[in-house]
A and B are shown apart, each in its own frame.
Chain A
Amino acid sequence: MVRYTFKRLLSLLLSLAVASLVIFAVIEVAPGDPASFMLGMNAQPETLAALRTELGLDASKGARYLSWVGGMLTGDFGTSYTYRTPVIGMVADRLWVSLPLALYALALSTIVAFPAGLFAASRRGQAGDIGVMGATQLGVAIPNFWFAMMLVLIFAINLRWFAAGGFVGWDKGFWAGMHALTLPAVALALPQAAILARVMRSSLLDVLGEDFMRTARAKGLTERQALWRHGLRNALIPVLTIIGLQFSFLLAGSIIIEQVFYLPGLGRLVFQSISARDLIVVESVVMLLVFSVIVVNFLVDLAYAAVDPRLRSRT
């Protein structure tokens, strides 16, 4: 297990190094001068020269890459050109909204999907299964911005249980923050829960057909005992894969929901900085997202090994 973890960790570091090189190459080294791109067509030569100096564009490419990576390692992500504030602060503020939102949505989707998948699988072909599968079909099909607007209409405007948008901030207390994130989290979780429930169901059905489930029944386990003791853990591997993918998506891909609920999240930050051509922010946020995806994959790998002993011994 230690060896396995070490190997996965090594591959994590390698992926990060490669990703940083690619991002740097695409944004900074690609044809065209970042400074003139950021300032647009009609920039004054003096402004351009000043920005070039500020960005350190006169240095060699290698030196620029090293100073960028070195900066990130020491927590210096540079200064936003548009807002004139350190990028690290901006990203941290946004992350305090996006990360809890993603985790909240993921928790909701898992809590709904696991029982739904189990329920459907244990009643394969019966009314319960057909009902759950129909509901998930709908969950996948409904566009989540429309669902978000419906949530606002019902729970914010009619019932007035939640605010229609905005974020109060965590200094108002944990529950106030969670309360504010509830509607967006539900909107985000719906399609994810639908997908996860379907994966859970089909994965369980695969496992139910396995020989060792019959062995378990021959030992005297009831169907339910066999499902819980032998089926569930074996069915988890594909489910874990999907959960890992969903987290990465939720962290960065919630831009539409952030827009609907007017949340100051990472998605909107990327969108705004791309519109403002603030390459420094874009670069940092993209790197951060890549980092989180790679870390999540690493955690998923560890979870695989925890679930399946065959992966532990294979090196």
Chain B
Amino acid sequence: MSLLSIQNLSLSIYGVDILRDVTLSVEEGEIVAITGESGSGKSITALASMQLLPKGTQTRGRVMFRGQDLTQQDEASLCALRGNDIGMVFQEPMTALNPVQTIGAQVAETIRIHDRSVSRAAAEIRAAETLTRVGLPQDRFPLGRYPHELSGGQRQRVVIAMAIALQPRLLIADEPTTALDVTTQAQILDLLKNLARADGMGLMMITHDLAVVADMADRIVVMREGEVVEEGETTHLLRHMNHPYTKMLFAASGHQVNLPEVTAQPPLLEVTHVSRDYRLPRKTLFGPAGHFRAVDDVSFTIHRGERLGLVGESGCGKSTLTRALLGLERVQAGTITLDGAPVFSGNAPNLAVRRKMQVVFQDPFGSFNPRHRVDRLVTEPFHLLPDPPTGADRTRAIDAALTAVGLAPADARKYIHEFSGGQRQRIAIARALIIRPELILFDEAVSALDVSVRAQILDLLADLCGTYDLTYLFISHDLSVVRTVTDRVLVMQAGKIVEEGPTEQTFENPQHPYTRSLIDAAPVLPEIHAAE
């Protein structure tokens, strides 16, 4: 008898089909990874395993947990099961914890809710033990800490502690490391793996990251649009994948693009000894305010036609540096010039320089005004021009920009909600291209996209490099992407550039220990192409 066995599960929410005939199982002590792109139904499968489904859900089929069909259980017995026999870890550690309760209280709650006879004090002792077990020792992380006093990785450890406090038989982890930095991700994955092995727990991992899947799982289940398309034991599946979708997923994950060669060109953007300080709140009433140096003495040059990468973990100063480059904020030391002119002059961005720079942001959903049509959205940069094109010229510019990114001129009259995430990111690129900027900043521009869409956008980028002679700075935490779309790379840590060099050489032979730790921590896709 399997620990968890989902049999022919079909599920619809308010009449919309979400899952179709899903069958999969998790054995005791086994790590099963469910993977697929957004909309594949993998998260709903996880929630169905706990019967924590949204209102309006109708299910057919069975969810058997240790021989009992959970779909037939009443709410009281399900509550007794959740947290006790099945634990769950969620994607967003920043919001998964109650901000107004201490971590000790939240871990102890799992224990007390299932066994009223445990005294408060005894529950706290067990909470402390569990927190120590997940790597939060009491001398550094006492029970009285609040979530906001912890980092993302530490919060995820608290969430894991809550899930495993009662040593459940099954642990479900829904994208547990997607929101975390690579080095933290490696630690959390190790933790989950070790806990599962030590307690003989079944672990159901939901993740879109195939490198993580290949690294962790005993068995892989691939889902697409609510259906299981392929499943199998990991090494076997990696060697003999049958379904075209599985093949496509793995190919897209390791997608490489060929950038056109560049020749030596004059410098375009010159950053010399730039530092950016943020004021900290005063410690004493009349004492001097402290400062936090987010960017510390950074110097680099982007040459015309060059594709430069910038990698580093969250909080390293990448975003602060981006804002400084765009001239959105004053820097405390150093100069930033584009073509010799400062990006920030007087008290404002230098408009003459700003119109030569554009930016593409991460979030394809939040970076557009939903009430404007595409033509208005992509022509936004025109306000930087002294005499923006009008009438037929404007239409021609819009058509050209949309065509360049693979959309149709007819899309100009649509609203942004009519487009998918990948299409939106194309529109964001069209918006950046429309005034033919000399430099584009890509700030985590493909991080929110599914692998297949990401591969298309990277291809688009490579094409545009050929047709537009793009110069760009590509900022990302994703090393594999930076590796393929840049010529040279900067590695940033705690506000400083710690390593700089040609991309391939830096990745092959990192000099700085931090670069090495980043590369080591990043999960790697196994070589599968030979077996195709």
Contacts and interface: CB of A to CB of B under 8 A. Distances in A.
Contacts of A219: 82-83, 109-110, 113, 162
A63 interface: no
Contacts of B109: 216, 219, 221, 229
Find the residue from A216, A233, A310 having the highest chain B CB count within 10 A: A216
Interface in A210-240: 210-212, 214-222, 225, 229-230, 233-234
Contacts of B80: 220
B90 interface: yes
A212 B281 CA distance: 29
Given A218-B52, A218-B82, A219-B82, A225 B113 contact: yes
Contacts of A216: 98, 109
A309 interface: yes
Interface in B80-114: 80-84, 87-88, 90, 92, 95-102, 109-110, 113-114
Contacts of A314: 281
Interface residues of A, number: 24
A230 B84 contact: no
Interface in B286-319: none
B149 interface: yes
B189 interface: no
A42 interface: no
Interface residues of B, number: 35
B282 interface: yes
B148 A220 contact: no
A215 B50 contact: no
Contacts of A55: none
A310 B82 contact: no
B157 to A, nearest CB: 14
A223 B159 CA distance: 19
A222 B90 CA distance: 18
B473 interface: no
A275 interface: no
Interface string B61-97: 0000000000000011001111110011010100111
B97 A309 contact: no
Given A218-B163, A220-B84, A220-B114, A313 B52 contact: no
A119 B76 CA distance: 21
A147 to B, nearest CB: 37
Q: By CB atoms of chain B within 10 A, which of A210, A217, A218, A233 has the most? A: A218
B81 A220 contact: yes
Contact of A215 (B81, B146, B149, B162): B162
Contacts of B149: 313
Most chain A C-beta atoms within 10 Å of own C-beta, residue among B76, B87, B92, B100: B100
B114 A212 contact: no
B88 A218 contact: yes
Chain A CB count within 10 A is highest, among B81, B96, B162, for: B96
A218 B52 CA distance: 8
A230 to B, nearest CB: 5
A58 interface: no
Contacts of A309: 99-100, 102, 146, 148
Interface in A44-92: none
Contacts of B163: 218
B90 A215 contact: yes
A309 B145 CA distance: 10
B486 to A, nearest CB: 35
Contacts of B87: 218
Interface in B110-166: 110, 113-114, 146, 148-149, 159, 162-163
Contact of B101 (A211, A221, A230, A315): A230
Interface of B: 50, 52, 75-76, 79-84, 87-88, 90, 92, 95-102, 109-110, 113-114, 146, 148-149, 159, 162-163, 281-283
Given A210-B95, A313-B149, 13 more contacts: A211-B96, A212-B98, A218-B90, A219-B83, A219-B110, A219-B162, A220-B110, A220-B113, A220-B114, A221-B79, A221-B109, A310-B99, A315-B282
8 contacts: A212-B96, A219-B162, A220-B83, A222-B76, A225-B113, A309-B99, A309-B100, A309-B102
Interface of A: 210-212, 214-222, 225, 229-230, 233-234, 307-310, 313-315
